[in-house]
Structure 1
Amino acid sequence: MKKLLLFSLSIFGLLFIFNTSSHAQASSDFKVGGGIIYGSEVEAIGIQAGAKYGFTEEISGAADFAIFFPENYDWWELNANGHYHFLQEDNISVYGLAGLNYATMSFSADLGEFGTASASNSEIGLNLGGGAEFGLDFANLYTELKYILGNADQLALSAGLRFDI
């Protein structure tokens, strides 16, 4: 899984480095997209899909759904974050984020002749972190690093693409 994460981040990095013809594009207030995410507590990579809406030039809101792929259990989460863009130049935007996280973990095991056993747990946490968005010719490349405070403490690193709608 770590090799897949490193490979994916390398591809996104190369897209940014070699895209020297990027120009600032007319930006829509509403963007949708997805990408990959890695969580330190779940110790697995996952996929993420979400949307972002710009209320003003400095303030935007984002919501996303992420599902991780650990070996022995299921883990998914919903996030709702507010972004404050403190640096915006040409095709680069850097922002801080804060918001809420709802995570669900579930486990199921086959006990043979004794039947099956299952357990699940849900947690609510607080997201704190930051990110950056880079304008490409066809979309915006985003990267985010956030820490989720709560019973399921976790550092999450994500990267992906957002498209104007």
Structure 2
Amino acid sequence: MKKLILTSCVLFGLMFTFNSNSYAQESSDILVGGGLIYGTEVEAIGIQAGGKYAFTPEISGAADFAIYFPENFDWWELNANVHYDFLAEEGMKVYGLGGLNYATMSFSVDFGEFGSASGSSSEVGLNLGGGAEFDVDFANVYTELKYVLGNADQLALSAGLRFNI
């Protein structure tokens, strides 16, 4: 499974590097940013950072890293999604998304004189959802709702800012 994820990431990166005739390079439609995220399975708020690259006027690729802050364990995830714009009007886009999710959970407990215990788990899932993006003077405000299908099923709601570079 790790080889599949690594191969997918390498291919995704090569598409960005060698796609010299792409829409994004013609219009400089590369966005980076971050925001807040809430997950229903982890039941915690986290922070998210990522980027978005437009292949065509309707299709974009997006990747992000999110780390949640629950009290008793650590949870972080990587996401690689494809966005399809269903509605694109001046100053607003509404899109559907689908992609891959890789989540890692770990914990550590110290029992004092009796020792300690720790464990971790990694899960791969599918992202399905949608979002909206609104142009403001200095950035784009986005909000997304996605469901992760897999062993770490969760509904995630995120919102933040993306800046054009």
TM-score higher than 0.5: yes
1:11-160 counterparts in 2 under 5 A? 28-160=28-160
Task: Give aligned-pair identity as a percent.
Answer: 80
Distance 1:114 1:79 in 2: 39
SS of the aligned residue for 1:113 comes to helix
The alignment partner of 1:104 has SS state of strand
Deviation string 1:100-146 (CA, Å, 9 cap, x unpaired) is 00000000000111221100000000000000000000000000000
**Of the two structures, which has the highest relative contact order with CA contacts closer than 8 Å and spacing of 6 or more?**
1
Shift of 1:28: 3.3
| Structure 2 residues without counterparts, runs of 5 or longer | 1-26
Scaled by the length of structure 2, the TM-score of the pair is 0.83
Code of the residue aligned with 1:139 in structure 2: it is A
Aligned AA for 2:109?
A: A
Q: Tell me the TM-score normalized by structure 1.
A: 0.83
Amino acid at match of 1:33: G
Question: Structure 1 residue runs of 4+, over 4 Å off?
Answer: none
Structure 1: 5+ residue stretches without partners: 1-26
How many residues get paired? 139
Give, in whole Å, the separation in 1 of the partners of 2:116 and 2:160. Answer: 38
What amino acid sits opposite 2:132 in the alignment? A
